């Protein structure tokens, strides 16, 4: 089976042959491209119908139905909304499409009334969004961080590393905030208030002596 890229390549090839030989018949084009006349007829019409062919002209079109053949009745949507509220209260969490669909398929009253019952979790989610139970996430706006000039601000932190043999190593790390460059790092079996101050003193002594 040809990939979409290969199919597009063949359709563009047809377009180029049509441009170079506008008087060629469908059969002649089919023989030249190694495709069926039916294929040439279909894509020749599609290319010709496009006033200005673009890449979209050569892409495969979805075979999915353009409209829903089984519209969902308002009463079914109301039931889905009610199930959302009832099941959320029952399980103490927002009921998802799986849970709602499981209960919805048990509703014989809806089936007896001839209503179409959706069997897709995607459809249930879509209805929940339509009813307002699922809100679109708000866009996140990122504020650019203005970094200070190099060597103006330092960030200090103490951390620890755990090894498989249950050994532990603590470290003292200093990074220049403007450049993310490591200014100073040292390790220790463990820090307390006194040894932490001594580490800061060693930092200042080391940096000032450079």
User: Which tens digits make up the pLDDT trace of 40-91?
Assistant: 999 999 999 887 888 888 888 766 555 556 789 999 999 999 999 999 999 8
The answer to whether 88 and 101 are in contact (CB under 8 A) is no
127 falls in which pLDDT band (50, 70, 90)? very high
The torsion angle over the Cα atoms of residues 57, 60, 64 and 68, rounded to 10 degrees, is -10
Q: What is the structure's pLDDT at 42?
A: 93
pTM of the complete model: 0.39
Q: Measured in Å, how far apart are the chain's first and last C-alpha atoms?
A: 68
Average pLDDT score over residue span 98-124: 91
**Reduced to 3 states, what is the DSSP secondary structure of residue 137?**
coil
* Arithmetic mean of pLDDT over the chain: 88
């Amino acid at each position: 089976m040809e990939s979409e890229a290969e199919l597009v390549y063949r359709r563009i090839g047809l377009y180029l042959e049509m441009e170079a030989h506008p008087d060629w018949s469908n059969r002649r084009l089919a023989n030249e491209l190694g495709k069926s006349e039916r294929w040439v007829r279909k894509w020749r019409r599609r290319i010709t119908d496009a006033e200005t062919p673009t890449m979209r002209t050569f892409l495969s079109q979805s075979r999915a139905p353009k409209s829903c053949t089984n519209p969902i009745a308002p009463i079914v949507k109301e039931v889905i909304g009610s199930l959302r509220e009832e099941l959320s209260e029952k399980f103490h969490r927002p009921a998802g499409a799986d849970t709602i669909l499981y209960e919805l398929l048990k509703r014989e009253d809806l089936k007896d009334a001839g209503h179409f019952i959706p069997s897709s979790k995607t459809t249930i989610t879509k209805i929940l969004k339509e009813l307002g139970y699922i809100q679109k996430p708000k866009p996140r706006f990122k504020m650019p961080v203005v970094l200070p000039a190099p060597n103006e601000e330092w960030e200090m932190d103490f951390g620890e590393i755990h090894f498989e043999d249950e050994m532990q190593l603590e470290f003292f790390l200093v990074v220049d905030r403007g450049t993310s460059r490591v200014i100073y790092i040292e390790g220790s079996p463990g820090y307390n208030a006194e040894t932490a101050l001594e580490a800061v003193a060693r930092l200042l002594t080391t940096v000032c002596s450079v």
